[in-house]
């Protein structure tokens, strides 16, 4: 019997093993999707395990029908061209199983590979669009899972509100203004982006759709007031112009030139739905995007320095220039 594989482990140890394996595999997928260099050796160092263990993880990923292979030229595991994990779509009913890892682990009566397969089956179904035409209220952008029980509780309440179509009342701390305010929100959906959860919904204070960081929700409860989900609203379309999680700003055109040193790496994936590429004779490449807001694309640009240059807009170019000046002062 396959279950005997863990017969020598205590129940708590088994859950910890399964949880660690699932988390590691999700992180591997995320790293590949972000275009990072991924090898058995680098992953073994990252996870502090043997390369043999990493190869078992890779085997599980391949068996779950994820199109990855080792690109000898890039010296890294990569996804097949045009495949990306960006903005997975799952139904609200899948939220607990996929995201709240401890809930899934506690419910398992299966060997680890079966648990992993269950998760990947859900993801694979999402990628193939197997939702029978239903609108989804959950968008997943893989990253590391938050471990806070406070956030887990908030997610549970929000998820229930989404399913029941009722408003939530919450006390929310705005980091920028360092102010705590109380408001009611009609929850349209949840976004998981780079390790953080965000609530997307219509805010009673501003009468418009806003994005709220779930880790900044201090208190939250269900109300009895129902709301109508707008027939013309799509969470996926709402997020399509953002480079990360920030939305609602006017779309702007951005052009960035990357040096030949990183050109091949930056072209390994499509970073945004609006992306256009221009390969130059000298080996450099220009990427053009139309995005909502510049904050998050600026963070992404910083991750490629000093191998890229912002060509437009001028505002973004000047922002980067000023930040580099300030950074240089720290190293004098």
Q: How far apart are CA 80 and CA 14, in angstroms?
A: 33
Model confidence, pTM: 0.49
The whole-number pLDDT of residue 270 equals 78
Q: How far apart are CA 80 and CA 268, in angstroms?
A: 9
Q: How far apart are CA 190 and CA 140, in angstroms?
A: 8
Q: Is 274 helix (H, G, I), strand (E, B) or coil?
A: coil
Residue with tokens 């682990």: 105
Q: Is 310 helix (H, G, I), strand (E, B) or coil?
A: strand
**If we measure between CA atoms, which residue out of 117, 113, 106, 116 comes closest to residue 2?**
113
Longest dimension (CA), the chain: 65
Q: 140, 192 in Cβ contact below 8 A?
A: yes
Tokens standing for residue 332: 């004098």
Q: How many residues does the chain have?
A: 332
Q: 157, 221 in Cβ contact below 8 A?
A: yes
C-alpha dihedral sign at 56, 62, 68, 73: positive
Spatial CB neighbours of 279, under 8 Å, sequence gap ≥ 6: 263, 285
The neighbour count for residue 126, using CB atoms within 10 Å, is: 22
pLDDT digits (tens, 9 = 90+) for 92-103: 444 433 443 333
Q: Is the bond preceding residue 328 a cis peptide, omega within 30 degrees?
A: no
Q: How far apart are CA 81 and CA 234, in angstroms?
A: 26
Q: How far apart are CA 140 and CA 157, in angstroms?
A: 18
The whole-number pLDDT of residue 194 equals 62
169 forms bridges with which residues in the sheet?
184, 221
Q: 116, 304 in Cβ contact below 8 A?
A: no
The whole-number pLDDT of residue 170 equals 94
Those residues of the chain that have pLDDT short of 50 are 1-12, 14-15, 87, 89-117, 124, 126-134, 139-147
pLDDT digits (tens, 9 = 90+) for 249-269: 567 889 999 999 999 988 887
The whole-number pLDDT of residue 242 equals 57
């Amino acid at each position: 019997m396959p279950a005997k594989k863990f017969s020598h482990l205590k129940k708590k140890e088994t859950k910890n093993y399964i949880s660690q394996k699932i988390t590691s595999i999700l992180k591997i997928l995320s790293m590949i999707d972000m275009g990072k260099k991924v090898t058995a050796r680098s992953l073994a160092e990252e996870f502090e395990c043997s390369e043999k263990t990493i190869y078992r993880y890779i085997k599980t990923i391949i068996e779950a029908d994820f199109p990855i292979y080792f690109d000898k030229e890039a010296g890294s595991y990569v996804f097949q061209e045009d495949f990306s994990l960006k903005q997975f779509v799952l139904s609200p009913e899948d939220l607990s199983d996929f995201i709240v890892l401890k809930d899934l682990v506690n419910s398992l009566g299966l060997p680890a590979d079966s648990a992993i397969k269950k998760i990947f089956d859900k993801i694979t179904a999402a990628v193939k669009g197997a939702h029978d035409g239903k609108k989804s209220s959950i968008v997943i952008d893989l990253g590391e899972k938050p471990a806070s029980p406070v956030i887990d509780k908030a997610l549970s309440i929000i998820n229930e509100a989404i399913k029941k179509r009722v408003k939530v009342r919450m006390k929310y701390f705005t980091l920028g203004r360092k102010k705590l305010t109380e408001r009611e929100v009609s929850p349209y959906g949840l976004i998981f982006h780079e390790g953080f959860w965000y609530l997307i919904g219509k805010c009673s204070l501003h009468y418009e759709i806003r994005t709220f960081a779930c880790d900044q929700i201090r208190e939250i409860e269900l109300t009895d007031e129902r709301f109508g989900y707008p027939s013309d609203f799509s969470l996926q379309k709402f997020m399509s112009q953002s480079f990360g999680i920030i939305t609602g700003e006017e779309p702007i055109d951005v052009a960035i030139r990357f040096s030949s040193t990183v050109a091949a790496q930056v072209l390994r994936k499509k970073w945004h739905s609006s992306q256009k590429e221009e390969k130059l004779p000298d080996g450099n490449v220009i990427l053009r995007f139309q995005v909502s807001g510049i904050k998050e694309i600026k963070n992404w640009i910083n991750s490629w320095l000093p191998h890229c240059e912002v060509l437009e807009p001028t505002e973004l170019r000047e922002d980067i220039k000023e930040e580099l000046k300030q950074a240089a002062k720290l190293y004098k």
